[in-house]
Chain A
């Protein structure tokens, strides 16, 4: 059993009369890339702000590194690097001065600034005031700042938001390399399933403030079982025939659907249809995408 890095129980946050986060139980083991997935407004940022002590939970507890965040906040935060929502920066300072202002607080060695600048490939821009940076550069500076204190836990809230495809790729590769190279645990949020699919090892899906799925990405993928779809004439008659022969078929939009069916059984089904003179136009396999699973889990709420 791997050590648990983040554990929340019953974590809730109320704004006015509405719960933005309701009863969330996060469980993040060491060394994982935990993809925190949910449509816009689902409560990802609010959850992350509570994990960092920026906002107070209305209810529930947070344990990070096995410590109660409420009691040992500074001890916990020493070992955490974070980037919340859009990147933070001081526009009137250069990239290096921005990092220096943080380095002083963290007591990190001066050489660490050069290291993180090169990790996010900003070494050449280090002497420019940050107000002239593109969003992607600010985002990379934010990640550099998060890495400055050699954190054991990295919390990144939508780190690829607003980046161009090459920037997204770059940050994704960076995130993927970190647990391997430095053994750190990463919580990364996104509203894009495709993105989480490409880098996460664990997934938590949040919708309207509630966790609706939390497990490994493989378990999520396993849910994408396949369907065999058959197109024929007089589908309803054909469907009745298959039912009478004891097949577990469904009729959907004038097509026959058989789920999780063996090769042997499908050949029998087709033979029976042909024998009864139903024309078989098309037999195709349809795999549910992660999107479909997500839509199923969220009860059809869009946004991904």
Chain B
């Protein structure tokens, strides 16, 4: 597994895609600076403003872009047949690709947290940095992205086209804008979960996350297992 990850990291590092991890955090930080937040909830308000563009649109979209990209250089140069004719297990290759996507998302989330803290400190917020609130938000967002990453990796390994998986992702992400406003559907729609999980709340429903335990178990874990199992078994059998 370590060998496969090192090889994957080499391929990823030399492509410029990882630069995308800066885009959304930078944009969100600008918003964090621009919007004025009043005491006593200034940290929470700033984080909420920042989460709006990031969690609602960019984070789900980036999940798709990252997944498509870790497959793109295999599709374009005929890499799959070379890679899968090596003495490596297909299952580990698939896991390594997924870990790469998760790693990129983690980096994005950490930068986002850094941006939020930067905005708050620069604006001289009185209360000290709310580590728990920010931490809950970014890790919750990451966990909520896992089902999306699993689905997008499935689609990206199956289709050699780069645009098709991204189109799927956009089609599922755009309804977020409507869905999150709905009490009824919001907590069931997987693409809305990154936003909902990142949105800070005064009384957190369930210890470590901003979403309820039911949502975490059934919507996030459930859809992750479904998408991951489908993609994984597909990849084990894929003919290249």
- A41-60 interface mask toward B, CB cutoff 8 Å, 1 = contact, 0 = none? 00000000100111110000
A84 CB to nearest B CB, Å: 5
* Residue B87, interface by CB 8 Å: yes
CB-defined contacts of A52 to chain B, threshold 8 Å: 81, 85
Residues 1-30 (chain B) with a chain A CB within 8 angstroms: 3-4, 6-7, 10-11, 14-15
Q: Say yes or no: B78 contacts A87, CB within 8 Å.
A: yes
* Residue A97, interface by CB 8 Å: yes
* Residue A106, interface by CB 8 Å: yes
* Residue A77, interface by CB 8 Å: yes
Closest to A129 in B: B14
* Residue A91, interface by CB 8 Å: yes
Q: Say yes or no: B237 contacts A104, CB within 8 Å.
A: no
Given A88-B77, A88-B78, A90-B73, decide whether A54 and B7 contact each other with a Cβ distance below 8 A.
Answer: no
Inter-chain CA distance A56–B236, complex, in Å, is 11
Closest to A80 in B: B85
Given A56-B237, A84-B81, A90-B79, decide whether A107 and B3 contact each other with a Cβ distance below 8 A.
Answer: yes
Q: Say yes or no: B11 contacts A74, CB within 8 Å.
A: no
* Residue A274, interface by CB 8 Å: no
Q: Say yes or no: A106 contacts B86, CB within 8 Å.
A: yes
Q: Say yes or no: B87 contacts A93, CB within 8 Å.
A: no
Closest to A138 in B: B77
* Residue B118, interface by CB 8 Å: no
B33 CB to nearest A CB, Å: 35
Q: Say yes or no: B85 contacts A89, CB within 8 Å.
A: no
| Residue in contact with A53 in the complex, picked from B4, B6, B7, B85, CB distance below 8 Å | B85
Inter-chain CA distance A183–B3, complex, in Å, is 29
Q: Say yes or no: A85 contacts B78, CB within 8 Å.
A: yes
CB-defined contacts of B88 to chain A, threshold 8 Å: 74, 105
Inter-chain CA distance A49–B14, complex, in Å, is 29
Closest to A74 in B: B87
- A68-101 interface mask toward B, CB cutoff 8 Å, 1 = contact, 0 = none? 0000001101101010111111111100010011
Given A93-B11, A101-B7, decide whether A88 and B87 contact each other with a Cβ distance below 8 A.
Answer: no
* Residue B240, interface by CB 8 Å: yes
- B68-96 interface mask toward A, CB cutoff 8 Å, 1 = contact, 0 = none? 00000100111101111111110000000
Residue pairs across A and B with Cβ atoms less than 8 A apart, 24 shown, are: A52-B81, A53-B85, A54-B85, A56-B239, A74-B88, A75-B87, A77-B85, A77-B86, A80-B85, A82-B82, A84-B78, A84-B85, A86-B78, A87-B78, A88-B79, A88-B83, A90-B73, A92-B14, A93-B10, A101-B11, A102-B86, A104-B7, A105-B3, A106-B86
